[in-house]
Amino acid sequence: MAGTSDQAPGFSAIANRHGTTALSLKVFLKTSHQNMPNLVIAPDQADALANYILGLRNPD
């Protein structure tokens, strides 16, 4: 993603990005980000959130 934006993409947009996987989402959730507060999320919560986001993916 080039550039910056004041608005984060929605979960469905993230789900439909090429390369979005459960693993990529879980890594993102565990990684520190400069302009965001650090999340403290349990592994089972990360799994549930990744599954929810991927469930929003448009069918092919």
Q: Report which of residues 46 and 7 the model is more confident about.
A: 46
pLDDT, tens only, 30-55: 888 788 788 788 999 999 999 999 99
Q: For residue 16, how many other CB atoms are within 10 A of its CB?
A: 14
Between CA 7 and CA 47 the distance in angstroms is 25
- Could you tell me how many residues make up the chain? 60
pLDDT at 6 over 80: no
Cα Rg of the chain, angstroms: 12
* Model confidence band, residue 59 (pLDDT cutoffs 50, 70, 90): confident
**What pLDDT sits at residue 44?**
94
Q: Report which of residues 54 and 1 the model is more confident about.
A: 54
Q: In 3D, which of 55, 43, 59 has the Cα closest to residue 11?
A: 55
**What pLDDT sits at residue 5?**
62
The sign of the torsion formed by the CA atoms of 48, 28, 16, 23 equals negative
